[in-house]
Structure 1
Amino acid sequence: MPAGINIKTGKVHYWFYDWKNSFVVIECLEKLLEEYSGKEIYVIMDNWSAHKSYDIKVWNTLHPRMHLVYLPSGASFLNKIERVFSFLSRDVLQNSNFQTVREAMENISNYFDNGGSIMV
């Protein structure tokens, strides 16, 4: 589940995909461009290879409002979304017994849409 957090508002942006790769990352970045139309956007990312792929670099040159900033290697503790995922795991996923993927997705959506993990 790709996700990001607006560190100014605490809003968590998340998307459900069956897989993660650089093309999914690009789709998510494009959704952020739409949501924050006309604004400069800074996205802080870890060093996952899909975040630094050739496709991402080419896409980024065509979208100058999007500024991609990469964390230093070994600095995952600086990545706010990791803390969000930790809270999600604790508050929703641990000790759960979802019967379907859809049920899990609905619970995750309810959590984020109702202010879950707002205090990062």
Structure 2
Amino acid sequence: DLDVHLIMDNYGTHKTEKVRAWFAARPRYHVHFTPTSASWINLVERFFALISERWIKRGSHRSTRELEDSIREYLETYNDEPRPFIWRKTADHIIASIARVSERLNNTSNYC
């Protein structure tokens, strides 16, 4: 009976007519898309990639329950000696990147 909120990137396959129809038939599902070039989410995606590369793809899971248990096991192992993801870009670099994108968008809108 609870609503399900899904956070997805802006990849085009999430927006196809077939996918939209699937969600339309399931009103308790709510999709939220991350902003394009949301660099902060890249760290989250990188963490999920590590779980996939180092753990999930190396194992065999016969059920969703086994997969969930396996992910929990990885998280417990990882959290024994956590290593933070380090943000490498400065605020100035990020602001300059946003300015470049904004400039391109402004130039592109002149052609529409």
TM-score by length of 1: 0.45
Larger-Rg structure: 2
Kindly indicate whether structure 1 or structure 2 has the higher relative contact order, using CA contacts under 8 Å at least 6 residues apart.
1
Judging by fraction of residues, say which structure has more strand. 1
